Structure 1
Amino acid sequence: MFYIGIDIAKHKHEASIIDSDGKLLCESISFSNTQKGCEKLLALMQKFTVTADNCIIGMEATGHYWLSVYSYLLEFGYNLNVINPIQSDSFRKMYIRQTKNDSKDSFVIAQIMRFGQFSSTSLSSENIMALRQLSRYRLFLVDECSDYKRKVICLLDQVFPEYSKLFSDTFGVTSSELLHKYPTPEDMLSVSTTKLTNFISKCSNGRFGREKALQIKEAAANSFGVKFAADAFAFQIRQMLEQINFIETQLDELEVQITTMLFEENQVITTIPGIGNILGAIIVSEIGDISRFDSASKLVAFAGLDVSVKQSGEFIGTQNKISKRGSPYLRRAIWTAASRAAFCDPVLSDYYQSLKTRGKHHLTAVGAVARKLCNIIFAVLRDNTPYQPMPKN
């Protein structure tokens, strides 16, 4: 049997081939992250009569750079294993101690394959991968939109600090339209009360009228905002509002696509309290095949919601925090769902309130609910059956 370790990088990979005794067949080779590079690796394997039937190949999940090599070798039927770099750290220390280079890393990965002491990350189905791509893209757009909103607030704090008191939602329809047309106090004062009244009445479908227009006028007239560089502030506010509107339109389209794909892939995840279509899509796509986890505790660890214990000798830390290892996307989705479930599911709500009664901080209690929610998610996905809330006694 032969074992091949591939150290993944952006442009060039390194590969080492060892036999059943752990002996290198030759010096490690470097090959580019291209089809020609992979052909170079295959040529070396053929030289030593390494085939799909007599070898195991391992590589670390380094960013997204391993996907192309994985996909290429998979087509030839090779036994491929993708491992988390954390798993190879202990082996790396044992073999190379304080030194590190690509050839030694690929050798260590090959040895891990030989000993078989690893858990492999399997490539998800095409539908799950597509759902994961879209779900992560949505999180990116949400964060970007939030960033633009923070920047608009920052600009308003400088040019019109009183504006935040005029509307309950600065980025609601009426407020956004008003800021886009009249982004500074001077702009709002330059228009007549009647025209301003008609404008906000139209934007709000008659909800706001003359009284709101007078309130805006008064706030603008007494604003303590900066008076210089008004045109620069106005220009930035308008452009950022346009960007926010564009991103929100994209999000609407994206969420329809995500919801459609989720219903095609999984029908039970949204029966769990606190989990809607979007959070369900993130959770399902990040977990992938639930059979990868033989217990709920392993899913909790994969989400990084397990508690890290600090212990030295007889000292055991009492202020422990979650490990935050594993998928940050999954952890974020489950945490958000737990924040909702703690107030809408009878069992989880009782559990949250009992922790609060014992003096636990809100975030500590939510973290505990998140771990319980992981157990529910594990059971629902494992059995592929809808969640049945337990009635209160």
Structure 2
Amino acid sequence: HPYLFMKGGDLVKNNFMSTLFVGIDVSSRTNVLCALNFQGDKLLNLKALNNQPGAESILDSILGCLNSNGLEYVVIALESTSFYSTHIANFLSSSEELLPFKPLVYCLNPKSVANYRKSFVDIDKTDPLDAFVIADFARCGRITSEPWRGAQFLALQRLSRHRLHLVECITREKTYMVSNIYLKFSELAVLDKDEKPFSNTYGVTSAAVLTEFLSLDDITYSSIEDLVAFVSAKGKNRFSDPYETARLLQKAARDSYRLDQVLYEPLNTSIASSFNLIKAFDDEIKVVDKAIEKTIKGINPVEYQSLTSIPGIGPVLASGILAEIGTITSFGSHDSLAKYAGLTWRVNQSGDYSSDDTRMTKTGNKYLRYYLIEAANSVINHVPEYRDFYNKKYGEVTTHCHKRALALTSRKLVRLIFGLLTKNQIYSSGKVGEIQ
């Protein structure tokens, strides 16, 4: 296909000359289409409802345009407008009638299209013109993302993205409940790590303390023996020194602000509700994890085996990465894969000055970036080479140490993932071997 072989001789040039470039401006109710040939001539303009009949009329119009103009290929580009572009992209990419024209359907990053639009001086903002800009963006060969991959990957992608949604819900709920925890038990929320009775403020034992003791006086005036028994029971005897944990807990309660009695019960109710929500989200994540493991089977089994061979990358992380990458053949190098994930940094330089503070672009696929960073965070706990690299980068700066080191480790992991997937290899004991 001309869009897959952009560099070369006359054959590629002829393929482009025989290609119809279609841009579709998608909204919740309508799709506005503009089609151009390689010379930039407008061959088609239309507006249709964003539903099944509307999609069928768009398909008929594209087929008619291809046949009447003697064109052999079609590239279709749409802005990725939330979920509204999903149906039309899936419909056109899976159409049997379009197959003879080797269709490539792309869902574009709106930011890329917006930046390209700036090259048109004083252009109006209308749906037909938006469709034209998208079509021209495709005609000029500016698309660097991978084509739409169809329903099988969409199923895995919806699961992996829903899992991220649940994780974000937990994070948001924990952030929200910080104020309630501080109001009820101020010291527990602000103590340094060494002085905290619990390493995890949102853990089971901490949750029991925050919800089962109505007021701080109940903790302050309890006997140390009763607190030790409480901590041991709630922690299922996992604390190495339950006496020290109970002592720190009692001290934190003694040093915390006191509230009017009227506030304790409402705060208890709010905090308990937040913990119930977090538990519900955790339970749903377990259900989704099982569904992800079931769905990944049969999709890219070799690439899945390559990823899960890396210590620290299990079924969920491997599935999330593969759901966003699709097939590694869409990327020519690890640099293009990193760019697609947004794991690149803008240079900040002027004259002889070069800033050490460079921002991550974050213009790529945020879901792939999330799973790569989570994978790197896990790999550093299992692979000494990556742990040493992380520690080295952590010690190079005094600000944003963890975020910077983890992002750079993620970029290093991209090189490994690209190498394994392109060569159909596995990672084993620090060496790479062919999959049998």
TM-score (norm 2): 0.75
Shift of 1:14: 1.0
Shift of 1:376: 0.2
**Corresponding position of 1:23:** 41
User: Structure 2 residue aligned with 1:268, among 296, 306, 312?
Assistant: 306
**Corresponding position of 2:49:** 32
User: Structure 2 residue aligned with 1:4, among 22, 26, 46?
Assistant: 22
Q: 8 Å contact 1:32–1:38 — kept in the other structure?
A: yes
**Corresponding position of 2:79:** 60
Structure 2 residue 351 is matched with structure 1 residue 334: no
Shift of 1:342: 4.3
Q: 8 Å contact 1:132–1:285 — kept in the other structure?
A: yes
Shift of 1:76: 4.5
Structure 1 residues 261 and 231 mapped into 2: Cα distance closer, same or farther (>3 Å)? Answer: same
Structure 2 residue 333 is matched with structure 1 residue 295: yes
Q: Secondary structure at the match of 1:268?
A: helix
**Corresponding position of 2:105:** 81
TM-score (norm 1): 0.82
Q: 8 Å contact 2:393–2:405 — kept in the other structure?
A: yes
Q: 8 Å contact 1:342–1:366 — kept in the other structure?
A: no
**Corresponding position of 1:252:** 286
**Corresponding position of 2:131:** 106
The CA RMSD over aligned residues, in Å, is 3.7
* CA–CA separation in structure 2 for the residues paired with 1:166 and 1:142: 25
* CA–CA separation in structure 2 for the residues paired with 1:211 and 1:375: 46
1:321-371, Cα deviation, whole Å (9 max, x unpaired): 322221122222322333444464343344445556766863444433322
Name the stretch that deviates more: 189-198 or 255-264: 189-198
AA matched with 1:150: T
Structure 1 residues 247 and 45 mapped into 2: Cα distance closer, same or farther (>3 Å)? Answer: closer
Shift of 1:390: 4.0
Q: Structure 1: which 5+ runs fail to align?
A: none
* CA–CA separation in structure 1 for the residues paired with 2:246 and 2:111: 60
Question: Sequence identity, in percent?
Answer: 28
Q: Secondary structure at the match of 1:16?
A: strand
Structure 1 residues 219 and 43 mapped into 2: Cα distance closer, same or farther (>3 Å)? Answer: closer
**Corresponding position of 1:305:** 343
Q: Secondary structure at the match of 2:136?
A: helix
Structure 1 residues 254 and 57 mapped into 2: Cα distance closer, same or farther (>3 Å)? Answer: closer
Shift of 1:59: 2.1
**Corresponding position of 2:89:** 70
Name the stretch that deviates more: 291-300 or 178-187: 178-187
Shift of 1:183: 4.4
User: Structure 1 residue aligned with 2:273, among 224, 232, 239?
Assistant: 239
* CA–CA separation in structure 1 for the residues paired with 2:222 and 2:393: 55
Q: Structure 2: which 5+ runs fail to align?
A: 1-17, 190-195, 432-436
Q: 8 Å contact 2:214–2:265 — kept in the other structure?
A: no
AA matched with 1:184: S
Structure 1 residues 30 and 368 mapped into 2: Cα distance closer, same or farther (>3 Å)? Answer: same
* CA–CA separation in structure 1 for the residues paired with 2:132 and 2:257: 66
Name the stretch that deviates more: 264-273 or 305-314: 305-314
